[in-house]
Amino acid sequence: MKLTIVLTSTRPTRLGKSVADWFYSYAKGESAGFEIELVDLKEINLPLLDEPNHPSMQKYEHEHTKRWAKIVDESDAFVFVLPEYNHAPPPSFVNAVDYLYKEWNYKPAGFVSYGGISGGIRSTEVAKHLLATMEMVPVKQQVMIPMVFDHLEDGAFVPTEMHEQSAKVMLDTMAHWSNALKTMR
């Protein structure tokens, strides 16, 4: 089973990179039976959706779409490292999701969300709505990081025990769903 962690924030001064680096190394140690990969939407560098056909047709014209489709198609589960911008997910996340359809279908999704006092909970709820439309299964277990800026030391994210415990519960739940949904696919 392949779990792909998607770093969704693309700002030059983003804190998401520190959060994603922590979660990637935590998940590799914990594993829950997954092979784990980290992808960065800043590096994937998708333009605003520029495919002429509906994604469900999978008639992709652009190389950037074919590359992104391959990554998503080869993954069995996803964890999105998601900030909150104006009570919503970042546009980079929505754009990357909209590019594809079948490649997302019947796969579980978890969130490591972060922001100010809300810890990205509002952003996650909006994101789940979108993922449900992709026929994905967003799990309720989640890592939430309120006041993310208070957890950085020399640029590195330093987790609390609660962050680590929530990460473990989320990964275990996702392993169950990944097995069930792989059978279904």
Ligand X SMILES: Cc1cc2nc3c(=O)[nH]c(=O)nc-3n(C[C@H](O)[C@H](O)[C@H](O)COP(=O)(O)O)c2cc1C
Rounded to a whole number of angstroms, the minimum distance from the CB of residue 123 to ligand X is 7
Note whether 83 binds ligand X by CB under 6 A: yes
Q: Does 9 bind ligand X (CB under 6 A)?
A: yes
CA distances from 76 to 5, 27, 158 (A): 11, 15, 28
Residues near 121 by beta carbon (within 8 Å), at least 6 away in sequence: 84, 113, 144
| Neighbouring residues of 13: CB distance < 8 A, sequence distance ≥ 6 | none
Q: Does 16 bind ligand X (CB under 6 A)?
A: yes
Residue ranges with strand state E in 8-150? 35-40, 77-83, 108-114, 137-138, 143-145
Return the number of the residue (75 or 92) whose C-beta is nearest ligand X: 92
**Binding positions for ligand X, 127-156, rule CB under 6 A:** 148
Least distance CB 125 / ligand X (angstroms): 12
Question: How big is the site for ligand X, counted in residues (CB under 6 A)?
Answer: 14
CB of 87 to ligand X, least distance (A): 5
Q: Cβ distance 145 to 160 under 8 Å?
A: no
Select from 3, 5, 15, 167 the one that contacts ligand X (CB under 6 A).
15
Q: Does 116 bind ligand X (CB under 6 A)?
A: yes
Crossing angle of helices 91-98/121-133, nearest 10°? 10
Given candidates 58, 95, 118, 173, which one binds ligand X under the rule CB under 6 A? 118
Based on CB atoms, which residue is closest to ligand X, 115 or 138?
115
| Separation of first and last alpha carbons in the chain | 13
- Tokens in use for 139? 């799990």
Residues that bind ligand X (CB under 6 A): 9, 11, 14-16, 83-87, 115-116, 118, 148
